Amino acid sequence: MNNKLIELKEILNKANFYKHAINILYFDVETIAPKDALEDENNTMNYFSNELFKIINNDHVNNLVIDLNKEKDNLDYYDKLLIEKLYESYSKNKNITPEFDLKRNQIYSKSYINWLKAKEAKDYNLFKDSFNDVINIQREEINLRDNKFLNVYDNLLNDCEKGVLQEDLDKFFNDLKVGLIDLINKIKSSKHIIRDDFLNRKVAIYKQEQFSKYLLELNGFNLNRGVLSTTEHPFTSEISRYDSRVTTHYFEDNVLSNIYSVIHEGGHAIFMQNEPEEDHNHFINDYITNGMHESVSRFYENVIGRSKEYTHLIYPKFIEVFDEFKDITEQELYEAINIVKPSLIRTEADEVTYGLHIIIRYEMERMISNDEITLDEVPAKWNELYYKYLGVTPKDDSEGVLQDVHWSGGFGYFPSYALGNAYNAMYVKKMKEDIDFNNCILNGDFKTINNWMINNIFKDANHLTPKEWIKNITNNSLNAKDFLDYLYKKYSDIYKF
For the segment 218-237, give every residue that binds a second copy (CB under 8 A): 222-227, 229
Give the nearer residue to a second copy in terms of CB position, either 16 or 158: 16
Q: Does 252 bind a second copy (CB under 8 A)?
A: no
Instruction: Give the per-residue SS3 of the chain.
Output: CCHHHHHHHHHHHHHHHHHHHHHHHHHHHHHCCCHHHHHHHHHHHHHHHHHHHHHHCCHHHHHHHHHHHHCHHHCCHHHHHHHHHHHHHHHHHCCCCHHHHHHHHHHHHHHHHHHHHHHHHCCCHHHHHHHHHHHHHHHHHHHCCCCCCCCHHHHHHHHHCCCCCHHHHHHHHHHHHHHHHHHHHHHHHCCCCCCCCCCCCCCCHHHHHHHHHHHHHHHCCCHHHEEEEECCCCCEEEEECCEEEEEECCCCCCHHHHHHHHHHHHHHHHHHHCCCHHHHHCCCCCCCCHHHHHHHHHHHHHHHCCCHHHHHHHHHHHHHHCHHHCCCCHHHHHHHHCCCCCCCCHHHCCHHHHHHHHHHHHHHHHHHHCCCCCHHHHHHHHHHHHHHHHCCCCCCHHHCCCCCCHHHHCCCCCHHHHHHHHHHHHHHHHHHHHCCHHHHHHCCCHHHHHHHHHHHHHCCCCCCCHHHHHHHHHCCCCCCHHHHHHHHHHHHHHCCC
Q: Which residues contact 72 (CB under 8 A, 6 or more apart)?
A: 79, 80, 83, 84
Give the nearer residue to a second copy in terms of CB position, either 36 or 371: 36
Give the nearer residue to a second copy in terms of CB position, either 40 or 76: 40
Stretch that binds a second copy, among 132-140, 180-188, 202-210, 456-464 (CB under 8 A): 202-210
Q: Does 206 bind a second copy (CB under 8 A)?
A: yes
To the nearest whole angstrom, how small is the minimum distance from the Cβ of residue 74 to a second copy?
32
Distance CA 258, CA 303 (A): 17
To the nearest whole angstrom, how small is the minimum distance from the Cβ of residue 25 to a second copy?
6
Give the nearer residue to a second copy in terms of CB position, either 269 or 368: 269
Give the nearer residue to a second copy in terms of CB position, either 16 or 451: 16
Stretch that binds a second copy, among 110-118, 195-203, 239-247, 256-264 (CB under 8 A): 239-247
51 is catalytic: no
To the nearest whole angstrom, how small is the minimum distance from the Cβ of residue 293 to a second copy?
20
To the nearest whole angstrom, how small is the minimum distance from the Cβ of residue 216 to a second copy?
12
Q: Does 204 bind a second copy (CB under 8 A)?
A: yes
In this structure, what are the phi and psi dihedrals at residue 245, rounded to the nearest 5 degrees? -115, 135
Q: Does 240 bind a second copy (CB under 8 A)?
A: yes
Q: Does 15 bind a second copy (CB under 8 A)?
A: no
To the nearest whole angstrom, how small is the minimum distance from the Cβ of residue 50 to a second copy?
10
> Taking CB under 8 A as the rule, which mask of x and - marks residues 161-200 in contact with a second copy?
----------------------------------------
Closest CA to 196 of 334, 346, 347: 334
Q: Does 251 bind a second copy (CB under 8 A)?
A: no
Give the nearer residue to a second copy in terms of CB position, either 111 or 247: 247
Distance CA 276, CA 459 (A): 6
For the segment 122-161, give every residue that binds a second copy (CB under 8 A): none
Give the nearer residue to a second copy in terms of CB position, either 25 or 187: 25
Binding residues with a second copy: total (CB under 8 A)? 34
Q: Does 281 bind a second copy (CB under 8 A)?
A: no
Distance CA 385, CA 348 (A): 18
β partners of residue 226: 244
Q: Does 355 bind a second copy (CB under 8 A)?
A: no
To the nearest whole angstrom, how small is the minimum distance from the Cβ of residue 227 to a second copy?
5
Q: Does 440 bind a second copy (CB under 8 A)?
A: no
Give the nearer residue to a second copy in terms of CB position, either 181 or 205: 205
- Select which of 161, 265, 335, 365 is catalytic: 265
Q: Does 217 bind a second copy (CB under 8 A)?
A: no
Distance CA 12, CA 55 (A): 9
To the nearest whole angstrom, how small is the minimum distance from the Cβ of residue 466 to a second copy?
29
Give the nearer residue to a second copy in terms of CB position, either 36 or 327: 36
For the segment 19-58, give every residue that binds a second copy (CB under 8 A): 20-21, 24-25, 27-28, 32-37, 40-41, 43-44, 47-48
Interface pick for a second copy out of 129, 242, 320, 438 (rule CB under 8 A): 242
Binding site for a second copy (CB under 8 A): 17, 20-21, 24-25, 27-28, 32-37, 40-41, 43-44, 47-48, 204-206, 222-227, 229, 239-243
Residues annotated as part of the active site: 265
